[in-house]
Structure 1
Amino acid sequence: MYFAMNRFRVALGQEEAFEAVWKGRDSSLAEMAGFIEFHLLRGESVPEEGYTPFISKSTWESKDAFLAWTKSENFRAAHRSAGDNRAMYLGPPKFEGYTVVEGA
């Protein structure tokens, strides 16, 4: 199993707009072989640094299944307008990928 996560620092006051972008997009993840589930996670705001952390987390059967998604037309379509929302973020998202070592 493979977890793919992007960490976002969303500018204070932009949280609802950021969530609306994610809720309104058609990612077609469910159509991809090896896709298991997706969650958008919202952390506690960090007022002294001016942001609220968010994580987009997708779960895949394997790293190869995730990599196939990143090379697909569905991926390109889902991320086509990502640059339109840069004003919401403090810097680019940070990707982290993890392979399960042990789990129940």
Structure 2
Amino acid sequence: MYFAMNRFRVAIGQEAAFEAVWKGRDSALADMPGFIDFHLLRGDSVPEEGYTPYISKSTWESRDAFIDWTKSENFRTAHRSAGDNRSMYLSPPKFEGFTVVEGA
């Protein structure tokens, strides 16, 4: 199993707009072989630094299944207007990928 996560630092006051972008996008993840699930997670705001942390987390059967997604037309379509929302972020998203070593 493989977990693909992007960490976002969303400017305080932009949370509703950020969430609306995610809720309104057509990712077609469910159509991809090896896709298991997706969650958008919101952390507690950090007012002294001016952001609210978010993580987009998708679960895949394997790293290869995730890589296939990143090379697909579905991926290009889902990320087509990502640059339109730069003003919401304090910095670019940070990707992290993890392979399960042990689990119950």
| Structure 1 letter corresponding to 2:87 | A
Looking at structure 2, the residues matched to 91 and 20 of structure 1 have their Cα atoms a distance apart, in angstroms, of 19
- The aligned runs of 1:1-104 (5 Å cut-off) are 1-104=1-104
Aligned residues: 104
Q: Which runs of 5+ in 2 are unaligned?
A: none
Q: TM (normalized to structure 1)?
A: 1.00
Alignment deviations for residues 46-99 of structure 1 (CA, whole Å, 9 cap, x no partner):
000000000000000000000000000000000000000000000100000000
Structure 1 segments of 4 or more deviating over 2 A?
Answer: none
Looking at structure 1, the residues matched to 46 and 86 of structure 2 have their Cα atoms a distance apart, in angstroms, of 19
| DSSP-derived class of the 1:55 partner | strand
| DSSP-derived class of the 1:47 partner | coil
Q: Which runs of 5+ in 1 are unaligned?
A: none
| Structure 2 letter corresponding to 1:74 | N
The Cα of 1:7 is off from its aligned counterpart by 0.1
| DSSP-derived class of the 1:101 partner | coil
Percent pairwise identity = 86
The Cα of 1:32 is off from its aligned counterpart by 0.1
The Cα of 1:103 is off from its aligned counterpart by 0.3
